[in-house]
Structure 1
Amino acid sequence: MVAVIGFLMIIAIVVLLLKGKMSPIVVLAVVPAVAALILRFSPVEIMAFIADGIKTTTSNGILFIFSVIYFGVLADTGLFDVIVGWLVKKAGNNVIAVTVVTAVIATIAHLDGTTAVTVLITIPSMYPVYKKMKIDPRILLCLTGACMGVMNLLPWGGPTARAATVLEMDATELWHMLIPLQVVGLVMNIALAVVLGMVAIKHGAGLGKGEEVAVDEKEKKEEASLRKSNAFLIFNFLLTAGVIALLSTGIGKSYVVFMLGLCILLAVNYPDQKLQDKLIKKHAPAALIISATLFAAGAMVGVFDGTGMLEAMANAIMAIIPAALGKYIHIIFGILALPLGLCVGTDAYFYGIMPLVMQVGETYGVASLNTALTMLIGKNLALMVSPLVPATYLAIGLTGTELKDHMKFSIPPYYLVSLMMLVFGVILGIVTI
């Protein structure tokens, strides 16, 4: 009964999010609470579950607030315009070069491991080019998500750190094992960019004049007034490199690093209180919406864990796997990683399902590390098509694309890349059978 309610809850969440009739915050917080009531848990118990779940996302929520504002202000200074402008200039009017440059920008942008930042850097800078050259914006979303998924294997990206926590090992040590697969994934993303560029040409991209993205003149002048000189941009680059270096070393909490970085960035570039307040207010809405959605997702995770739905669902899935396939359970869940990643939040996946699968695998002689590696690969590729990831809504909002259209277009290539990475993992001996 518990497992059935759990599966029905997941289906209800996905359907409501796909229909777009309710805010993700409402869906992720209310639907699990209703499911818990059906399972006869009291309101007091449910509130306790939600509170416990939100605790697990508090640091990430604070991180989103400061990181989104930091990179938003950084973009205002014009630093990314210099890098992106150079790359776009090199691409010219070549459609395939534009799609390849998109992959390169998204890869560089995700060095910090923050999904919202990657979206805010890649999509606004490339979207006008796509409109002008009549390239389907779904290609922009697809390439951004693919590069984000592969780069998210970095130890400070989140999923690798979560998997390392479950394995009780160092995240950097786990990442070192994944580096060859990360290289394979990056090469595949460039190949995907070339293929999608060819598809775009086939559909008329680059032929004739496209559509110019409307820019408010007042807004354009305001943006120009915020641009800084080369001396400031060099300082901003060094500051950002320092912030990312601190994040990679794990010295201090990530949100503290971004908070201090934001303070320095504002103080040096815009030493005027009114302007500082204005810039914070400018980027705060995106930061707060993402953080609020993350807290709502935490509420869902809390109900999942507190009611025992997650364990019941995982056991139900495992019950249908024949005993003869037990020694291949890591490969099975490696293949299912992307579909599961679409329906289950990151914390629920790594802290709920993964430990159970690892435990079952151990009984069949499959090492926990082996299971974790296979489940880590595919989950990352599901990152920007999952209805449970706040950055997904940010990305589709920036391009005016429907979630269902983005999912239909991007899931097939993502699944192909994830399966190919799994195959290469076996070939390279990273994953053993």
Structure 2
Amino acid sequence: MLPLLGLATIVVLLGAILSKRMSPLVALIIVPLAASLIGGFGFQTSKFVIDGLKSLAPVVGMFVFAILYFGTITDAGTLDPIIDRILRAVGTRPTRIVMGTTLLALLIHLDGSGAVCFLVTIPAMLPLYDRLKMDRRVLAAAVSMAAGINFLPWTGPMIRASASLHLPISALFNPLIPVQLIGLVFVFSVAFWLGRREEKRLGLTAANGSAPMPKRELTPEEQALRRPKNFWFNIVLTLVVLGTMVVMGEKIPPAIMFMVGLCIALMVNYPNVDMQRKRIDAHARAALMMAGILLAAGVFTGVMQGSGMLKAMAQAAVGFVPPAMAGHIPVALGLVSMPLSMLFDPDSFYFGVLPVIAEVAGQLGVPAVHVGQAALLGQMTTGFPVSPLTPATFLVVGLCGIDLADHQKFTFPLLFGASIVMTIACVVLGIFSL
């Protein structure tokens, strides 16, 4: 009875989210509460929910303050000199332009927001592509690869994986640092290849610097927020915040680092109290939306785990997996995680599917951390810029002025290749075993 109830809960949750009959926030709260009451758990449901919320509090705090921190230093113009220098350096050589596009997107996506990355990078680079008659699909592919390869501790997929599996972010992220570096090598190699291919298609063999470079214009409102004199301070502050998270993540929670970093950034860049409030207000909507989703996910995971539905489902599923194949679960998931982005949105996968896979793997002796790491190699990381289930995909094709089908056909193999390369790297580096 309990395994069937758990399966029905997940099916209804996925159906409600994918059919858009309910928003993820509503579905993650209503569906598990109804399932718990149907299962006869009554007032115990309250305890399940509170336990789930408590387990997610550090993750929610980190995500909220990460958005506020990166939003503040971006408003202060910390990335402006980097963007302008990249635009000057790429010149009019397609190979440099594509690699510069990739680097710029990678830097902009440090805040973990795909929408911000695309909104800044594509308008800045599109004039160059159009002036040289370069394929706009290459621009879309370059920014997609750069954003997709980024699964830093404060990005959505990493936070969702940590929340759904109740694992520290450092346990998931730190072993994947060399894997991500290998993925970046692959991405820049592909960017170089795409640029060379464009040069051959256009018949260009040398840089043509005679045409004027397009200038990036800031609105008067953006100019008023810029603090160029604080550039190096903001850079050093960001390096300290991020470096402390990576090196001392076990001793100093990431949420504290972003809290302290935000306070310092606000006091230095915007000492006026009214301006501090306006900067927080400007980014509060994005922070609260994600915080709401994560807290709703705490309700779902709390009920599924506290009621025993998750464990019962896993025990029933163990019988269908040959023990000899148990060790291959992370590798198999790593290989299919990117295509799964076309079928599942991040909330339904990380909060509905991943815990079941992890529980099954755990019953067979495979650590949950390996399952979470495998999912992060593609599920809404390399997969999100081509998935029809994410608004960011439509932002890419809209800003580039290309068809969704053309973008998917051109970019999907490149992103899938990155996911495969990183999965192989996990095996070679001993993170996964065969």
* Structure 1 length-normalised TM: 0.73
2:118 pairs with 1:123: yes
Give 3-state SS (helix, strand or coil) of 1:101's partner: helix
| Contact 1:311/1:353 (8 A) holds in 2 | no
Distance, in Å, in 2 between the alignment partners of 1:202 and 1:311 is: 57
The range that moved more, 5-14 or 407-416, is 407-416
Distance, in Å, in 2 between the alignment partners of 1:255 and 1:13 is: 29
Specify the code of the residue in structure 1 equivalent to 2:293.
T
| Contact 1:102/1:140 (8 A) holds in 2 | yes
Unaligned stretches of 5+ residues in structure 1: 205-211, 363-367
Alpha carbons of 1:175 and 1:130: their partners in 2 closer, same or farther (altered >3 Å)? Answer: same
Corresponding residue for 1:307? 307
Corresponding residue for 1:74? 73
Cα deviation for residue 187 of structure 1 reads 1.9
Corresponding residue for 2:424? 423
Distance, in Å, in 2 between the alignment partners of 1:24 and 1:235 is: 39
| Contact 2:6/2:313 (8 A) holds in 1 | yes
Alpha carbons of 1:131 and 1:17: their partners in 2 closer, same or farther (altered >3 Å)? Answer: farther
Matches within 5 A, 1:337-348: 337=337, 342=344, 346=350
2:125 pairs with 1:142: no
Corresponding residue for 2:182? 184
Deviations 1:349-375, CA, capped at 9 Å, x for gaps = 777643541441x4xxxxx46x85465
Cα deviation for residue 129 of structure 1 reads 3.5
| Contact 1:103/1:147 (8 A) holds in 2 | no
Identity %: 27
Matches within 5 A, 1:384-423: 384=381, 395=392, 413-423=414-424
Matches within 5 A, 1:32-51: 32-42=32-42, 44-51=43-50
Cα deviation for residue 382 of structure 1 reads 1.0
Distance, in Å, in 2 between the alignment partners of 1:228 and 1:169 is: 32
Corresponding residue for 1:103? 102
2:355 pairs with 1:357: no
* Structure 2 length-normalised TM: 0.73
| Contact 2:382/2:416 (8 A) holds in 1 | no
Corresponding residue for 2:290? 290
Give 3-state SS (helix, strand or coil) of 2:150's partner: helix
Specify the code of the residue in structure 2 equivalent to 1:357.
A
| Contact 2:117/2:147 (8 A) holds in 1 | no
Corresponding residue for 1:245? 243
Corresponding residue for 2:52? 53
| Contact 1:65/1:291 (8 A) holds in 2 | yes
Cα deviation for residue 225 of structure 1 reads 0.9
CA RMSD of aligned residues (A): 4.6
Cα deviation for residue 235 of structure 1 reads 1.2
Specify the code of the residue in structure 2 equivalent to 1:123.
F
Cα deviation for residue 348 of structure 1 reads 7.1
Alpha carbons of 1:70 and 1:34: their partners in 2 closer, same or farther (altered >3 Å)? Answer: same
Cα deviation for residue 385 of structure 1 reads 7.5
Task: Count matched residues.
Answer: 400
Cα deviation for residue 197 of structure 1 reads 6.8
Corresponding residue for 1:273? 273
Deviations 1:311-345, CA, capped at 9 Å, x for gaps = 23333443222455456455445445557785765
Alpha carbons of 1:429 and 1:62: their partners in 2 closer, same or farther (altered >3 Å)? Answer: closer
Distance, in Å, in 2 between the alignment partners of 1:400 and 1:11 is: 31
| Contact 1:382/1:414 (8 A) holds in 2 | no
| Contact 1:96/1:197 (8 A) holds in 2 | yes
Cα deviation for residue 425 of structure 1 reads 3.6
Alpha carbons of 1:14 and 1:91: their partners in 2 closer, same or farther (altered >3 Å)? Answer: farther
Distance, in Å, in 2 between the alignment partners of 1:198 and 1:4 is: 55
Corresponding residue for 2:231? 233
Alpha carbons of 1:383 and 1:175: their partners in 2 closer, same or farther (altered >3 Å)? Answer: same
Corresponding residue for 1:83? 82
Unaligned stretches of 5+ residues in structure 2: 131-135, 203-213, 399-403
Cα deviation for residue 416 of structure 1 reads 3.8
Deviations 1:379-412, CA, capped at 9 Å, x for gaps = 342134789xxxx9674586587xxx69967766
Distance, in Å, in 2 between the alignment partners of 1:351 and 1:393 is: 21
| Contact 1:330/1:374 (8 A) holds in 2 | yes
Distance, in Å, in 2 between the alignment partners of 1:175 and 1:81 is: 29
| Contact 2:153/2:169 (8 A) holds in 1 | no
Alpha carbons of 1:92 and 1:426: their partners in 2 closer, same or farther (altered >3 Å)? Answer: same
| Contact 1:65/1:288 (8 A) holds in 2 | yes
| Contact 2:334/2:374 (8 A) holds in 1 | yes
Distance, in Å, in 2 between the alignment partners of 1:101 and 1:55 is: 43
Distance, in Å, in 1 between the alignment partners of 2:297 and 2:94 is: 38
